[in-house]
A and B are shown apart, each in its own frame.
Chain A
Amino acid sequence: EIVMTQTPLSSPVTLGQSASISCRSSQSLVHSDGNTFLSWLHQRPGQPPRLLIYKISNRFSGVPDRFSGSGAGTDFTLKINRVEAEDVGVYYCMQAAEFPWTFGQGTKVEIK
């Protein structure tokens, strides 16, 4: 199975500053159809996860443009610009290029 490795696992950030999370996959996430099925999810405490970014860089409906995704192949990054209080929680990367779908360990973002 594809192993997803996130860094860092914890990220204290100052309100208004930027945060960046990396995700590395153990093999390429390019699907046979040419798409790269790498997503980013956000989960607030006590809430279900919600989709932020799909196919590397596409923002899901309603997601602020402060969130952006980039990368290719096996290395991906989520960037959060101008961090707000509502951005705290755990961020997961997820691959759906190959079964079983797998997730990173999660990165906890908290305000300093």
Chain B
Amino acid sequence: EVQLVESGGGLVKPGGSLRVSCAGSGFTFSTYSMFWLRQAPGKGLEWVSRISPDGDYLHYADSVKGRFTISRDNAKNSLYLEMNSLRVDDTAVYYCGRDWFGEFYWGQGTLVTVSS
């Protein structure tokens, strides 16, 4: 069974940093592009970032470029999102997903709250 389990969410002050992680299982992690989406409370969906299977190609939304870094460790079947200079409007549930040529699957999400 395919599983993506996010972790690492929590409360952080504006300007602070946080790293969220995603553990994949039930599939060959190293062959999939992976991505992060987010959803602010009561709002719609926003794509955040995507990484190629080997980690060579990275893409970011303008809203997080220069502040967030996506990475992966294929040996550990894990995806990461390092978030720096966090702002109140980064508050959201962050979903980790896998991409197989447009066929997407994602996890249950982890809540990141940025508040003083």
* Residues of chain A lying within 8 A (CB to CB) of residue B62: 100
Q: Does A70 contact B (CB under 8 A)?
A: no
Q: Does A92 contact B44, Cβ atoms closer than 8 Å? A: yes
Which DSSP category, helix, strand, loop or mixed, fits chain A's interface? loop
Complex CA–CA separation, A23 to B50 (angstroms): 24
Tell me if B102 and A37 are in contact (CB < 8 A).
yes
Complex Cα distance A60/B106, Å?
Answer: 13
Assess whether B47 is in contact with A49, with CB atoms less than 8 Å apart.
no
A96 part of interface (Cβ distance < 8 Å):
yes
- Residue total for A at the interface (Cβ-Cβ under 8 A): 22
A105 in contact with B108 (CB, 8 Å):
no
A-B contact list, 15 entries, CB within 8 Å: A37-B102, A39-B104, A41-B45, A54-B102, A54-B104, A55-B103, A60-B103, A92-B44, A100-B59, A101-B47, A102-B47, A103-B46, A103-B47, A104-B44, A105-B44
Known: A48-B107, A94-B45, A103-B47. 19 other contacts (CB 8 A): A41-B45, A48-B95, A48-B106, A49-B106, A51-B103, A51-B105, A54-B102, A55-B102, A60-B103, A96-B99, A100-B59, A101-B35, A101-B50, A102-B47, A103-B44, A103-B45, A103-B46, A105-B44, A106-B44
A contacts, CB < 8 Å to B: 35, 37, 39, 41, 48-49, 51, 54-55, 58, 60, 92, 94, 96, 99-106
